[in-house]
Structure 1
Amino acid sequence: MSPFWVTFDDVLPATSETTSTVTVDGLRLRVAHTRPAGIDRPRVVVVLHGWGASIDAVGSILAGLRDKVELVALDLPGFGESDMVPAAWSNADYARLVLRLADQLGIERFALVGHSRGAAISLVLASDPATSGRIERMVLTGAAGIKPRRRPSYYAKVGMAKAGRVAGAVGGPPGKRVQQKIRARAASADWLAAPEALRGTLRNVLAEDLSPRLPQVDAPTLLIWGPDDEDTPLWMAERMEREIPGAGLVVLRGGGHFAYAERAGEFNVIAAHFLAPPASAPTR
């Protein structure tokens, strides 16, 4: 299927959500849960934000879909107002937590909207035979999980980082200072911004290549992408479209990695059309 390009001028404003604290497996999670009025048996949609973000970052999605589907959004552990992860987590650990939250809320089957790292978690859920039957359909935008094409400068930075770790381990206080200087030059913005307790998790999720999972995805999937995305370039979306069975791709002109917010009007119209079941009609 070839991608098609759309452009709208209307943009829906983000609105605040009423949130509560839910404890899952000992972790306190900030959760927003809304249900549309006047719709019989609305589809439940779980919205997963990207790395370093929170419920607030996906506010435009919640505002655009709240009248059409039942929405559950959460601050993933380590972000926003939720508890820190207790160890170095993987994408699968986050996926298990999402399922446990759904169990606690009494939700058996649901759809997913995932951005960036939240989309990688969605891919794990929809490709695992043990859990994919619970995923009705999925919208991915700026999805992480495919190994990027590396330039020589990347490997030079990796070498610098390894040298810095050695200096920090054996060089005492002077070595630690050298390590910090190297980190400042070689580390990514996400690494530098992450608290120490999250860096093991960041290392785990960045090292995982989800490409082998793509053909195993067992849910109707729509990819909505910005052509100017520099973090997860369009070629990644095109590969996902080819390898996820039956996937479709929509490209939003002028959008980058946060196309869902930059082009909120068209994103929400397209996502709602894909996510809202035909039976979601107003009741008398």
Structure 2
Amino acid sequence: MTSTVDVGDGVLAYTESGAGDPVVWLHGSGPGATGASNFGATVPAFADHRNIVVDLPGWGASPRPESDEPLIHHAAERVLRAMTALGIERAHLVGNSYGGGVAMRIAVTAPERVGRLVLMAPGGVLPTDAPPWPVGLAHLFDYMAAEKPSREAMAEFVKLMVFDQALATDALIDERYESSLRAHPELPIPPTFGDLTPDLPKIKARTLLVWGREDQTVPLTWAPTILHGIPDAELRVLPRCRHWVQYERAPEFNRIVREFLTDEG
């Protein structure tokens, strides 16, 4: 069941489950994205943690307040406010794509609030030669710019997110398409996400990067900047996998992340 928490200039929608060491789950920015769509099938494997799955501002059931801040900066501050309101002093952060950028920003601005970071092909760190954009990002921006996007455009986008095309089911396409029509972000294209590159050395949290080898949205060639920029980062690359690692390689992802969050080393 979705609840909301006051974050000062609006509310943030979230779901909560489990009990134990807190984990905050931060979704990507793709059309139709919500906390549930990104992590609904993942969180049950972490029932021994207190799981907070948020809808970031402007996605899902969370309204987007007017702001000139870069999206990552704005969302990170609202997640921190939500953590405070929910009585969470410190949590592990798991972020996919845009949500990975939000997690990194939190780790930069409030390091004492972060346990460990799990980042799946995180956003917020672009190479100097972009654009041109990878094909997945190009389709994402085209979809967001459309006045009335089509289901066909959503189907093409979803198929770019997974290596195994059998996972791009009609049910998933329909779910994402209907969600995108309910909360179609009004953003400049490309959106102003914010550049975290200069801040990477400030991240003190132990960090796990998880990447799909065939990612066409945030390609693996973008990983070294983050891997070498964060002082305590390690990288796991999963073959035959694109951008939605937690969906496409769920059992392996769950095992890797559980080990990382509970390892005392």
Structure 2 length as normaliser, TM-score? Answer: 0.75
- Residue type of the alignment partner of 2:4: T
Distance 1:22 1:277, change over 3 A: farther
> How many corresponding residue pairs?
220
The Cα of 1:217 is off from its aligned counterpart by 0.7
Alignment equivalent of 2:14, drawn from 22, 27, 31: 31
Higher relative contact order, structure no. (Cα contacts within 8 Å, ≥ 6 residues apart): 1
After superposition, the C-alpha distances for 1:117-174 in whole angstroms (9 at most, x for unaligned) are 000011111122xx111111100001111214647867xxxxxxxxxxxxxxxxxxxx
**Share of identical aligned residues, percent?**
33
**Residue correspondence of structure 1 range 111-150 to structure 2 within 5 A:** 111-128=92-109, 131-148=110-127, 150=129
The Cα of 1:89 is off from its aligned counterpart by 3.8
Q: Is the 8 A contact 1:238 1:249 kept in 2?
A: no
- Residue type of the alignment partner of 1:228: E
Distance 1:125 1:106, change over 3 A: same
Distance 1:112 1:26, change over 3 A: same
More displaced stretch, 94-103 vs 21-30: 21-30
Q: Secondary structure, in 3 states, of the residue corresponding to 1:107?
A: coil
The residue that corresponds to 2:82 in the other structure is 101
**Residue correspondence of structure 1 range 165-204 to structure 2 within 5 A:** 188-192=142-146, 198-200=186-188, 203-204=191-192
1:233 to 2:219 alignment: yes
CA–CA distance in 2 between the matches of 1:56 and 1:151? 30
The residue that corresponds to 1:221 in the other structure is 207
CA–CA distance in 2 between the matches of 1:94 and 1:151? 23
Q: Is the 8 A contact 1:88 1:201 kept in 2?
A: no
After superposition, the C-alpha distances for 1:69-101 in whole angstroms (9 at most, x for unaligned) are 111111111111111232344211111101100
CA–CA distance in 1 between the matches of 2:107 and 2:240? 29
**Residue correspondence of structure 1 range 28-67 to structure 2 within 5 A:** 28-36=11-19, 42-51=20-29, 52=31, 53-57=33-37, 58-65=39-46, 67=47
More displaced stretch, 67-76 vs 85-94: 85-94
In structure 1, list runs of 5 or more residues that go unmatched. Answer: 1-17, 37-41, 155-184, 279-284
After superposition, the C-alpha distances for 1:185-219 in whole angstroms (9 at most, x for unaligned) are 9x6333336878631496321xx221111111110
What CA RMSD, in Å, does the superposition of the two structures yield over aligned residues? 2.4
The Cα of 1:242 is off from its aligned counterpart by 1.6
After superposition, the C-alpha distances for 1:213-249 in whole angstroms (9 at most, x for unaligned) are 1111110000011001111111222321122112111
Q: Secondary structure, in 3 states, of the residue corresponding to 1:273?
A: helix
The residue that corresponds to 2:167 in the other structure is none
Q: Is the 8 A contact 2:59 2:185 kept in 1?
A: no
Q: Secondary structure, in 3 states, of the residue corresponding to 1:222?
A: strand
Distance 1:151 1:275, change over 3 A: closer
Q: Is the 8 A contact 2:145 2:189 kept in 1?
A: no
In structure 2, list runs of 5 or more residues that go unmatched. Answer: 134-138, 150-179
Q: Is the 8 A contact 2:144 2:185 kept in 1?
A: no
